[in-house]
């Protein structure tokens, strides 16, 4: 259900409860901000003491206001919040911004006050931001409740951290960017991130949505909302905390949030087309890139600079980022020569060799030629351009004109141009940005932007969960044999096996399956650690001895005799699924065997996925070339592996009681894929 | 031989030949710069036209000067350079700065003018910088020949690119840093980078040496000089161009330099203890870190911030960089509580939870407690600190005082403190830097600095080449059998083999060695590509058939019958050596087998290395855990592998005619290491 957030961002009237005359209080910041919008709407300040605050009358309570406030900001001690919200809803408020913190705990009657208040708000048909939030901001509405520091611009920011929002704001300003809206999420008792994303996706001035989240709440709802926004043309950027154990520890201590596993967050981003970043700088850098029109079709980049050093350094950084620097075509080289001195180099990177000083228009001319070149997908200008006007004021106008022509060339050709300049705060840099060209102060950021636009960096092509209605599935009874049978039922082939309880049955199974076989104690969760697995039994003698030894050590029980697979003939994968508390079933595939830990080569997706998505998931592994027949080997049966991965994903999605599931290894050979071991962990077991 | 560069950086008198009155000419910039030092030394301007330039008399030639100039700057057309240098040496000049370019080519008589001029300079007992250079600068001498834009400070910069030097200067200024000396290297016809490094290592105001190089010239001399500087306490930083093929193409086109292989440069840096960086920003960031006194003993970091978001993000970035965030000890937690509000979190990361506003001294108090904590090696303050005074001027003094106390705490405890702040250009940030604390504007840079200081980032522990006198070694005759014999001679064990020419000999060898065997055509360089290798021959029949087939296809020749090794019982490495044109013999070890390309797991060192260095080299591979018995396997014989690597390195160092050498694979098992194939490429063959 999409919530109507008009009363939150564009209210006809606002009341600030807890408005303060003390400039050190947040209630003062909120009141000052609210009053700045007094020419757009009615603004009322509420303070029990009455009197006057910031030159405006202070009303003792909401009930004393001359008109009903559409938005009520609540900045009062925790104990009074419930009462104030009741009062607000009573006088007809449609949106609450709950700044107050500390009422998430249960009261003396064991009631969760935060949940109760949120429920009251929903029943009243209103919405609530927070509690424990720092306010809202809407640039075009001139709604400023706490965030006057934000300049206007195309970014909508939804954040669970005030100081990070401040850093993002400063970085955005340095990149000549600003904000359309800001919402401090707080504890998300009522409105959650997904609600904000849904609203921002249809907010005309918003061209990119930036999220800082520690708690994803209903993760699938967020994924759906972000996917809708992305498809509708508004990219979503996510900076998420708690990706590592230390980060998670911090996040838990910060908002009491249950932090989602970092891999589940990654899967969610892949599913929704969200661009995931790790730092505030990366977020603003990516926003600048995504706000530009350029979307290169490939990863062939042309670099140009005045001075070879910058071209050399940029070339190395580009190559390290997986981008290509092809030589230019002869016709491009010939065309370039006409604009450059004889000493210039017109291979890629192009080096003006001092040609800049002979006429700054050459920056635009060369840029246009490279943007037009068929052999090139994107262009990087790196180095000094932007500094002519700063260091030699007489050149300022010529440089500005060249910047304008260069931006025009990018717009007219539809090509992708990214600029790195030592002078990123110059008027020339600002002119380029106004013309839609992303400009960065360090070459690594410019290259990261190119990699992002070329789809070489997060998120890549979305890995969308299948939109299917799966009938709920009963989980298997606990036990190894039961897990095997369950997997076989849903379509994951496992190596041939027999469940045995006596020595005689074991030897019969050995003969029937064909030696060599393995013997496994079925009841242990981590069988190999308990000494419950004996591999490579080559005949009756070996199997019999192993049976005696294992039953003597672990006691009589059902054992599994299994045909040994020839692992050297294929590649071992790990296929698994986990239930994430926020994002639900997540399917995982990775390289198995002895190199698994070193490579840490794992790909994840929200479950369920179909066979073709499963194949893309497998092929996204770094080890994928091994499956296609590296070093003269024949290609392996990737389709069979994909079938198993898809089956696992469907099972995990249909059976919520499955907490963890591993098929490890899944041996992929030239003619199929077969699981050699399996494990299922259920909730509540 | 260390060259005396006093006449270059601290001349008693300077003449600028080619001084110009035209402000758009470099000869004007040089003249203006030189005249700024006229209160320190005699400054003469030389221009054939005579008259007056910038208010000073212009002499028609060097011979007309009233006294002998110690340093002569030559900025004249290429055709006149040789004559001017002759004249300069004739009047007693001891240093030449050759700005002029374009005389590197041979003259009409086929003579390399650049080489001839350099030779004349050396014979005269003088030194020459350039040609094709942009000048020199010495802050304490007030010597400014072209680089007045440089602020004074502790960094000595040696660069082959003018515009990169400019970018480095601007980045340094933004980090409150400056330069002690600058030398533009140009073509290094006489003075090379190593000469500059040797001189800078004993230059008192220089505390860190920064190099931008495209051409390493005598690479071993540079390594020796950099190692001396590093050991003497002056760290050396290297930004080198041409690490990738596109970068190399650019570098070649820029200075005509013969670019060294990127891996050789890496080996050189490891040998010399040079910190290698990829961008100007990384260079200045690393310089700031290395200029601070902190050198953590381990990688346990404590993070603190006001606001959980910054702590969460920093934690994730630190973990990604291989640093640890342990929980704090109970005693530290208790001590911290005394300085923070009840809502604060005192686990790691520490979150003030608004405590900052209650008293900025807590930033210093908490910092000191963390710096003193035994369980912590380094401290990161991240987020808003630095912004109090900017956003709330009334807090400026309090914040500055806290910054001072915090810097004192770092100095007094001898601990390592690094700061990230949203307000990196604030007076508070400057105060921290003055106190020796590195301050960065983005958290990723602060974390990179910590990783560098903790030895988790380039260069790590030096891998020093062995200081041994190896008797020169005659290379083997061309051929596979000869290469095998040569390797066995120098101590690299190879799998048992027999050289055969007839079917009968082949079958005899098969029986003698024991099946299965391999059959190889010895004369092909890339044997497997030519179909000259047949593996896994299990009996006489198979071997005989293979012999017939190979000789029918490739013609009669000496073939090699070799015992097959059980590769599944060990780990395959690649061991090799290359002769680099600048750095000499480089030894390489990497993971072999089918995972080699995916992992691209290779380590290099300058040859020769001894056995213990070879073992460190092997253990620096990501795949090293496989050798120590990953996943329950027994440890492999790393000492035997190290022995083979050291032997290869000695051979490559002693035998300059070996261009390339591969032992691939070297199979490391529990009881030894054995080469299964080998290849040697000689120069001139």
- Give the pLDDT confidence of A352-370 residue by residue, as tens digits: 887 777 789 999 999 999 9
A160 with B309: Cβ contact below 8 A: yes
Cα separation, B435 vs B371, in Å, equals 15
| Residues near A489 by beta carbon (within 8 Å), at least 6 away in sequence | none
Is it the case that residue A242 has pLDDT exceeding 80? Answer: no
Name the percent of chain A in helix, strand, coil, to the closest 5: 40, 20, 40
List chain B residues with CB under 8 Å of A212: 309
Which of A170, A247, A280 has the CB atom closest to B316's CB atom? Answer: A247
Which of A161, A423, A622 has the CB atom closest to B598's CB atom? Answer: A622
Which of A348, A598, A626 has the CB atom closest to B625's CB atom? Answer: A598
For chain A, give the mean pLDDT: 90
Cα separation, A309 vs A384, in Å, equals 11
Which of A164, A595, A622 has the CB atom closest to B313's CB atom? Answer: A164
Is-contact A155 A178, C-beta < 8 A? Answer: yes
- Determine the pLDDT at residue B245: 60
Cα separation, A230 vs A228, in Å, equals 5
A250 with B279: Cβ contact below 8 A: no
Distance (Å) from the alpha carbon of B64 to chain A's nearest alpha carbon: 33
- Tokens representing A291? 């706000």
Evaluate the omega torsion of the peptide bond into residue B317 and state whether it is cis, within 30 degrees of 0. no
Mean pLDDT, residues B58-69 taken together: 96
What backbone torsions phi and psi does residue A408 show, to the nearest 5 degrees?
Answer: -60, -45
Q: Which of A261, A299, A316 to mutate to test the interface with B (most CBs of B within 10 A)?
A: A316
Degrees to nearest 5, angle at CA B599 with B594 and B601: 105
Evaluate the omega torsion of the peptide bond into residue A665 and state whether it is cis, within 30 degrees of 0. yes
B308 with A214: Cβ contact below 8 A: yes
> Any bridge partners for residue B159, and if so which?
B184, B212
List chain A residues with CB under 8 Å of B347: 249-250, 253
- Determine the pLDDT at residue A522: 66
Strand segments, DSSP code E, in A187-300 are 208-213, 236-240, 275-277
A594 with B633: Cβ contact below 8 A: yes
Is it the case that residue A259 has pLDDT exceeding 50? Answer: no
The residue of chain B nearest to residue A357, with distances taken between CA atoms, is B24
Considering only residues B684 and A136, tell me which one the structure prediction assigns the higher pLDDT. Answer: A136
Cα separation, A94 vs B639, in Å, equals 75
DSSP-derived secondary structure letter, B310 = H
- Determine the pLDDT at residue B249: 60
Please compute Rg for chain A using Cα positions. Answer: 31
Give Cα separations from B622 to A285, A492, B229, B618, B644 (angstroms).
31, 33, 30, 9, 19
Which of B212, B243, B443 has the CB atom closest to A279's CB atom? Answer: B443
Distance (Å) from the alpha carbon of B254 to chain A's nearest alpha carbon: 5
- Determine the pLDDT at residue B254: 42
Cα separation, B649 vs A353, in Å, equals 41
- Determine the pLDDT at residue A24: 82
User: By C-alpha distance, which of A171, A151, A156, A143 is closest to A212?
Assistant: A156
User: By C-alpha distance, which of A239, A355, A679, A241 is closest to A494?
Assistant: A679
Mean pLDDT, residues B506-530 taken together: 79
**Per residue in B649-680, is it b (16+ CB within 10 Å) or e — as a string?**
bbbbbbbebbbebbbbbbbbbeebbbbbbbeb
Is-contact B21 B54, C-beta < 8 A? Answer: yes
- Tokens representing A652? 């995990």
Number of inter-chain CB pairs under 8 A, A vs B: 256
The residue of chain B nearest to residue A349, with distances taken between CA atoms, is B250
The residue of chain A nearest to residue B321, with distances taken between CA atoms, is A244
Is it the case that residue A254 has pLDDT exceeding 50? Answer: no
Distance (Å) from the alpha carbon of B611 to chain A's nearest alpha carbon: 25
pLDDT band at A479 (very low <50, low <70, confident <90, very high): confident
Cα separation, A207 vs A215, in Å, equals 24
List chain B residues with CB under 8 Å of A244: 315-316, 319-320
Q: Which of A246, A443, A568 to mutate to test the interface with B (most CBs of B within 10 A)?
A: A246
Which of A281, A325, A631 has the CB atom closest to B442's CB atom? Answer: A281
Distance (Å) from the alpha carbon of A242 to chain B's nearest alpha carbon: 6
Which of A163, A311, A630 has the CB atom closest to B383's CB atom? Answer: A163
Q: Which of A105, A134, A167 to mutate to test the interface with B (most CBs of B within 10 A)?
A: A167
Distance of CA B590 to the CA centre of its chain: 20
Distance (Å) from the alpha carbon of B326 to chain A's nearest alpha carbon: 8
Q: Which of A250, A421, A566, A636 to mutate to test the interface with B (most CBs of B within 10 A)?
A: A250
Is it the case that residue B459 has pLDDT exceeding 60? Answer: no
A254 with B163: Cβ contact below 8 A: no
Residue A372: burial class (beta carbons within 10 Å; 0-12, 13-18, 19+): middle
Is it the case that residue A173 has pLDDT exceeding 80? Answer: yes
pLDDT tens-digit readout, A30-59: 999 999 999 999 999 999 999 999 999 999
Is-contact B158 B212, C-beta < 8 A? Answer: yes
The residue of chain B nearest to residue A170, with distances taken between CA atoms, is B422
B170 with A345: Cβ contact below 8 A: no
The residue of chain B nearest to residue A159, with distances taken between CA atoms, is B309
Which of A254, A308, A594 has the CB atom closest to B254's CB atom? Answer: A308
Which of B159, B170, B250 has the CB atom closest to A315's CB atom? Answer: B250
Which of A167, A278, A568 has the CB atom closest to B317's CB atom? Answer: A278
- Tokens representing A302? 């042309």
Distance (Å) from the alpha carbon of A208 to chain B's nearest alpha carbon: 21
Which of B255, B309, B317 has the CB atom closest to A163's CB atom? Answer: B309
Cα separation, A563 vs A560, in Å, equals 10
Is-contact A41 A12, C-beta < 8 A? Answer: yes
A311 with B384: Cβ contact below 8 A: no
What backbone torsions phi and psi does residue A191 show, to the nearest 5 degrees?
Answer: -70, 130
Considering only residues B511 and B146, tell me which one the structure prediction assigns the higher pLDDT. Answer: B511
Which of A316, A348, A383 has the CB atom closest to B244's CB atom? Answer: A316
List chain A residues with CB under 8 Å of B239: 313
Please compute Rg for chain B using Cα positions. Answer: 31
- Determine the pLDDT at residue B104: 57
B251 with A308: Cβ contact below 8 A: yes
The residue of chain B nearest to residue A310, with distances taken between CA atoms, is B164
pLDDT tens-digit readout, A368-385: 999 999 999 999 999 999
Distance (Å) from the alpha carbon of A467 to chain B's nearest alpha carbon: 33
pLDDT tens-digit readout, B553-596: 888 788 999 998 887 778 999 999 988 888 999 999 998 877 77
The residue of chain A nearest to residue B277, with distances taken between CA atoms, is A313
pLDDT tens-digit readout, B304-326: 998 889 999 999 999 999 999 99
Mean pLDDT, residues A174-195 taken together: 95
The residue of chain A nearest to residue B631, with distances taken between CA atoms, is A594
The DSSP-derived string for A581-636 is: TTTEEEEEEEE-GGGHHHHT-EEEEESP--HHHHHHHHHTSTTHHHHT-GGGPPPP
pLDDT band at A252 (very low <50, low <70, confident <90, very high): very low
ipTM of the complex: 0.91
Distance (Å) from the alpha carbon of A250 to chain B's nearest alpha carbon: 5
pLDDT tens-digit readout, B205-236: 999 999 999 888 899 999 999 999 999 999 99
List chain B residues with CB under 8 Å of A351: 250, 253-254
Q: Which of B313, B347, B422, B628 to mutate to test the interface with A (most CBs of A within 10 A)?
A: B313
The residue of chain A nearest to residue B310, with distances taken between CA atoms, is A164
């Amino acid at each position: 259900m999409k919530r109507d957030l008009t009363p939150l961002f564009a209210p006809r009237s606002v009341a600030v409860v807890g408005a303060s005359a003390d400039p050190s209080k947040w209630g003062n910041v909120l009141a000052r901000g609210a009053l700045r919008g007094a020419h757009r709407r009615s603004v009322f300040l509420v303070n029990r003491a009455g009197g006057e605050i910031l030159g405006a009358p202070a009303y003792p309570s909401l009930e004393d206001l001359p008109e009903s406030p559409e938005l009520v900001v609540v900045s009062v001690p925790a104990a009074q919040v419930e009462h104030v919200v009741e009062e607000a809803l009573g006088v007809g408020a449609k949106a609450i911004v709950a700044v107050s913190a500390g009422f998430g705990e249960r009261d003396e009657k064991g009631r969760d006050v935060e949940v109760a208040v949120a429920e009251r708000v929903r029943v009243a048909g209103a919405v609530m931001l927070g509690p424990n939030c720092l306010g809202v901001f809407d640039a075009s509405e001139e709604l400023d409740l706490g965030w006057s520091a934000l300049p206007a611009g195309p970014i909508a920011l939804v954040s669970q951290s005030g100081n990070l929002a401040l850093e993002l704001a400063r970085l955005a300003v340095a990149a000549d960017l600003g904000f359309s809206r800001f919402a401090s999420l707080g504890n998300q008792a009522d409105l959650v991130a997904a609600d904000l994303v849904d609203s921002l996706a249809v907010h005309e001035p918003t061209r990119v949505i930036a999220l800082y989240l520690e708690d994803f709440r209903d993760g699938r709802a967020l994924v759906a909302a972000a996917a809708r926004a992305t498809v509708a043309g508004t990219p979503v950027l996510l900076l998420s905390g708690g990706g590592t154990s230390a980060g998670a520890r911090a996040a838990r201590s910060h908002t009491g949030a249950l932090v989602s596993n970092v891999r589940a967050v990654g899967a969610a981003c892949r599913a929704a087309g969200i661009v995931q970043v790790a730092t505030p700088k990366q977020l603003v850098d990516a926003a600048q890139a995504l706000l530009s029109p350029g979307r290169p079709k490939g990863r062939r980049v042309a670099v140009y600079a005045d001075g070879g050093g910058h071209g050399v350094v940029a070339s190395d950084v580009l190559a390290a980022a997986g981008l290509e620097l092809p030589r230019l075509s002869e016709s491009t080289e010939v065309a370039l020569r006409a604009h450059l001195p004889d000493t210039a180099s017109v291979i890629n990177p192009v080096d003006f060799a001092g040609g800049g000083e002979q006429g700054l228009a050459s920056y635009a001319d060369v840029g246009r030629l490279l943007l037009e070149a068929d052999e090139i997908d994107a262009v990087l200008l790196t180095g000094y351009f932007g500094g002519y006007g700063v260091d030699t004021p007489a050149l300022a106008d010529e440089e500005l004109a060249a910047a304008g022509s260069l931006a025009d060339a990018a717009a007219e050709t539809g090509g992708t141009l990214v600029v790195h300049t030592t002078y990123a705060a110059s008027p020339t840099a600002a002119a380029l940005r106004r013309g839609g060209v992303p400009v960065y102060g360090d070459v690594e950021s410019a290259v990261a932007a190119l990699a992002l636009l070329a789809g070489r960096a997060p998120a890549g092509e979305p890995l969308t969960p299948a939109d299917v209605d799966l009938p709920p599935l009963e989980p298997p009874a606990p036990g190894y044999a039961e897990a095997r049978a369950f997997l076989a039922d849903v379509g994951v082939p496992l190596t041939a096996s027999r469940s045995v309880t006596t020595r005689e049955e074991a030897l019969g199974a050995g003969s029937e399956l064909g030696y060599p076989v393995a013997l496994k104690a079925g009841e242990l969760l981590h069988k190999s650690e308990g000494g419950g697995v004996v591999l490579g039994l080559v005949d009756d003698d070996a199997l019999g001895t192993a049976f005696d030894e294992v039953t003597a050590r672990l006691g009589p029980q059902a054992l599994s005799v299994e045909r040994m697979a020839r692992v050297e003939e294929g590649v071992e994968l790990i296929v698994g699924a986990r239930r994430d508390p926020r994002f639900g079933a997540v399917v995982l595939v990775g390289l198995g065997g002895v190199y698994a830990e070193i490579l840490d080569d794992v790909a994840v997706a929200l479950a369920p996925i179909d066979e073709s998505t499963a194949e893309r998931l497998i092929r996204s592994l770094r080890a994928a070339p091994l499956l296609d027949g590296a070093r003269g080997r024949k290609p392996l049966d990737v389709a069979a592996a994909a079938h198993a991965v898809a089956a696992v994903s469907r099972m995990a999605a249909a059976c919520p009681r499955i907490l963890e599931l591993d098929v490890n290894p899944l041996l992929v050979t030239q003619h199929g894929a077969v699981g050699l071991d399996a494990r299922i962990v259920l909730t509540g077991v």
